[in-house]
Structure 1
Amino acid sequence: MLKSQATPDSAATGAAGPDAVLFREGMSRVTAAVHVVTTDGAAGRAGFTATAVTTVTDGPPSLLVCVNTSSRSAQALLANRVFCVNTLSSEDRSLADIFAGRTGLQGQERFTIGEWETLDTGSPALTTSLVSFDCRISEARIVATHHVIIGEVVRIRLGETKPTLVYQGRHYRTL
């Protein structure tokens, strides 16, 4: 039997939809690629692990990234106006934990693990990533607790083809 919390007419009456706990549980069942989003510039070098990354359009090529407004990395990214989306392979699982804040490494210390280079924007690009999308912010806005940031891709670096790191059911998996 399927579980549902919202009633069919809740949207029409303006009643609140499903609660946050149910929403998070539902989203935990959606498989998503794992990325490390990085930035560098006058506001400093920063990065975070993200699954909320998606393509917007291919003309011009652009990506959408979501990050919590309370994140120090979000503030640096917005101030620098550039970022790089590094899609992780299963071999880079430890970097996902590092940039998610699960290891105790902070700020610049995070970049001591892995091999990094820079592309056009100066944002760190992981040399072992499956792909790195180097972007300049074209639009950003706050939606509830998160910044929704759209970046125009200025350069793409393709890495080796290998198994992808994904997140599903609150665990890393390989695809």
Structure 2
Amino acid sequence: MDQIDVNIFRSAMARLASAVTLVTTDGQAGRRGMAATAVTSITDEPPNLLVCVNKSARSNMMIKRNGVFSVNVLSKEQEILVGAFSGSSEADPFCEPELWSTLQTGAPILKGALTSLDCMLDQIVNIGTHSLFVGHVVGAQIGPASEGLVYFDRKFCGVGET
């Protein structure tokens, strides 16, 4: 069977609006974070979610070694953090400790995020260029209601009522 052209596939997927998150980890391998949109819930009993991370990303190896991660869902007001976690900034994204806390696993939780989900790594499935991390959610923090940040058609947009 023929494969679709990769550029057409990317353009098609750009039309799928996705919540913008910061996926963070901490442990023996160190502290690390990355901006991500490939995040979804799997089940609520037990509470599990899926995060897709490129195998070439340093965060991939660190999540595997640490065995924990958190998913922090960003508000429109937190868009500036995306640059700090995408490598486009020289600044240490964790340089302001008052912005961070932890729950059960020790993975960094962003104070003021729309929601943060603290996860133990449960399974890893490798497909193509990415690892699919299944996380068992062991803690959650619900932040203040605010306009959500989504990525749509290759740009950031606010969504929802403020």
TM-score by length of 2: 0.95
- Tell whether 2:13 aligns with 1:27: yes
Max Rg structure: 1
TM-superposed CA distance for 1:90, in Å, is 0.5
Q: Residue 85 of structure 2 corresponds to which residue in structure 1?
A: 99
Q: Residue 157 of structure 1 corresponds to which residue in structure 2?
A: 141
Aligned residue pair count: 158
Q: Residue 136 of structure 1 corresponds to which residue in structure 2?
A: 120
> What letter corresponds to residue 133 of structure 1 in structure 2?
L
TM-superposed CA distance for 1:16, in Å, is 2.2
| Deviation sequence 1:109-164 (CA, Å, 0-9, x none) | 11115700011000000001000000001100210000000000000100000000
| Deviation sequence 1:77-105 (CA, Å, 0-9, x none) | 11000000000000110111211122233
Q: Residue 10 of structure 1 corresponds to which residue in structure 2?
A: none
Counterpart secondary structure, 2:105: coil
Q: Residue 55 of structure 2 corresponds to which residue in structure 1?
A: 69
Gaps of 5+ in 1: 1-14
Task: Give the counterpart of 1:110 among 88, 93, 100.
Answer: 93
Task: Give the counterpart of 1:43 among 29, 35, 40.
Answer: 29
| Deviation sequence 1:46-102 (CA, Å, 0-9, x none) | 010000000000010000000000001111011000000000000110111211122
Q: Residue 9 of structure 1 corresponds to which residue in structure 2?
A: none
Between the aligned partners of 1:166 and 1:125, the Cα distance in structure 2 is 19
Task: Give the counterpart of 2:74 among 81, 88, 99.
Answer: 88
TM-score by length of 1: 0.88
Gaps of 5+ in 2: none
> What letter corresponds to residue 96 of structure 1 in structure 2?
V
Q: Residue 122 of structure 1 corresponds to which residue in structure 2?
A: 106
- Tell whether 2:43 aligns with 1:57: yes
Percent identical residues = 42
> What letter corresponds to residue 110 of structure 1 in structure 2?
P
Between the aligned partners of 1:98 and 1:173, the Cα distance in structure 2 is 18
> What letter corresponds to residue 112 of structure 1 in structure 2?
C
